[in-house]
Amino acid sequence: MATLRLGDTAPDFTAESNLGTINLYEYLGDSWGILFSHPADFTPVCTTELGTAAKFKKEFDARNVKMLALSVDGKDSHNEWIKDINQTQSTEVNFPIIADEDRKVSDAYDMIHPKANDTLTVRSVFIIAPDKTIKLILTYPASTGRNFHELLRVIDSLQLTAYHKVATPANWKRGEKVVVSPSIPTPEAITLFPRGVEEIRPYLRLTPDPTA
């Protein structure tokens, strides 16, 4: 299996989960999607991550993003782990966790790396657009928990730039100024962005967030 890259079509799959059988494309429908991989059940960092993910579900819902997690353990193990997550993280896991015992999904998404344990997935995040293309891939070491505020920030940027001819600068947050696409001449940009175009350099022009 070749390594997945940004812009590739997300591999479709049908698999069991704690919430029943899931087909990725049917589950996502016309929504965005975020897929979290986890090495195994009952791991400490991932326990905190899935608890945090559950607490952030309303934020993902507000952005039309459907959540999906994955571990190489089975459904019965997932159900026991979810009890621990709910108890220790004071939440209720409210999204599917794929039981990838045969590692078909892990292999399709290149989640098992040669330099990692050959039975455990690495801790990756995939953001999938409504057209089923992969828009973001992040891979974390086992020692570092994922930052869900950053994941929401990235989704805000991806959704904004998917529908407007802009990019987002460093540390950008929703509502802040954005960068006008370099491919747009300044006279056209002034027409396209009537709230103003600030030309710092010919190649660096800012305009207010068009969705704010």
Q: What is the pLDDT of residue 78?
A: 95
Side chain identity, residue 100 = D
Is residue 57 part of the annotated active site? The answer reads no
Task: Sketch the domain layout of the chain as residue ranges.
Answer: 14-145, 164-207
Helices (H), the chain: 24-28, 44-55, 57-62, 75-89, 104-108, 148-163, 186-192
- Give the domain 14-145 fold: Glutaredoxin (3.40.30)
Q: What is the pLDDT of residue 151?
A: 97
Percent of the chain scored above 70 by pLDDT?
94
Q: What is the mean pLDDT of the segment spanning 79-83?
A: 96
**Chain mean position to CA 177:** 23
- The answer to whether the CB of 145 falls within 8 A of the CB of 138 is no
The residue from 15, 22, 35, 46 that is catalytic is 46
pTM (two decimals): 0.92
CATH of 164-207, one of 3.40.1180.10, 3.10.20.30, 3.30.360.10, 3.30.1020.10: 3.30.1020.10
Least confident range of 12-16, 26-30, 80-84, 141-145: 141-145
Q: What is the pLDDT of residue 210?
A: 95
